[in-house]
């Protein structure tokens, strides 16, 4: 099925470990986004990309890095995980210039212990 695929769906990390979350979309969307969702906080933008090879910071970028080497993929990296990064992470994508909202992935639940 067409859409946004996130891997993994669940992960437990120890403080200080690193990991990469992968987001892949097959809709030829130009824009891609990483959000985190915390209880009572809604969704907050971490980083986003408006095209292959470009990235930009969102509202809460500290502690995260991203890369978009291919149009269909958007990677979110945690270099040294902290308990404050325990959250549900959502990837989303959208067309440029059209306004049908985002297409979201199903989320990754990350726990840092």
The residues of the shown chain that bind other proteins, judged by CB under 8 A, are 31, 33, 35, 40-45, 48, 50, 58, 88, 90, 92, 94, 96, 99-102, 104, 106-107
Residue 17 or residue 103: which is nearer to other proteins going by CB?
A: 103
Please report how close the Cβ of residue 20 comes to other proteins at its closest, in angstroms: 20
Q: Least distance to other proteins from the beta carbon of 58, Å?
A: 7
CB closer to other proteins, 2 vs 14: 2
Nearer to other proteins, 81 or 105 (CB): 105
Burial 78-109, CB ≥16 within 10 A → b, else e: beebeeebbbbbbbbbbeeeeeeebbbbebbe
- How far apart are CB 44 and other proteins at their closest, in Å? 8
Tokens 């959502």 correspond to what residue? 90
Tell me if the bond preceding 10 is cis, omega within 30° of 0: no
In the block, tokens 């990991």 appear at 19
| Phi, psi values for residue 84, rounded to 5° | -70, -10
Nearest alpha-carbon partner for 85 in 4, 24, 22, 17: 17
Smallest distance, other proteins to C-beta of residue 80, A: 26
**Residue closer to other proteins, measured from CB, 17 or 95:** 95
């Amino acid at each position: 099925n067409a859409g946004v695929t996130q891997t993994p769906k669940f992960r437990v990390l120890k403080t200080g470990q690193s990991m990469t979350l992968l987001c892949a979309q097959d809709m030829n969307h130009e824009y891609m986004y990483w959000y985190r969702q915390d209880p009572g906080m809604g969704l907050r933008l971490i980083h986003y990309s408006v095209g292959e090879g470009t990235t930009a910071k969102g509202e809460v970028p500290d502690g995260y890095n991203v890369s978009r080497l291919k149009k269909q993929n958007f990677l979110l990296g945690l270099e040294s995980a902290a308990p404050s990064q325990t959250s549900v992470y959502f990837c989303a994508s959208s067309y440029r210039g059209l306004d049908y909202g985002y297409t979201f992935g199903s989320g990754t639940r990350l726990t840092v212990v």
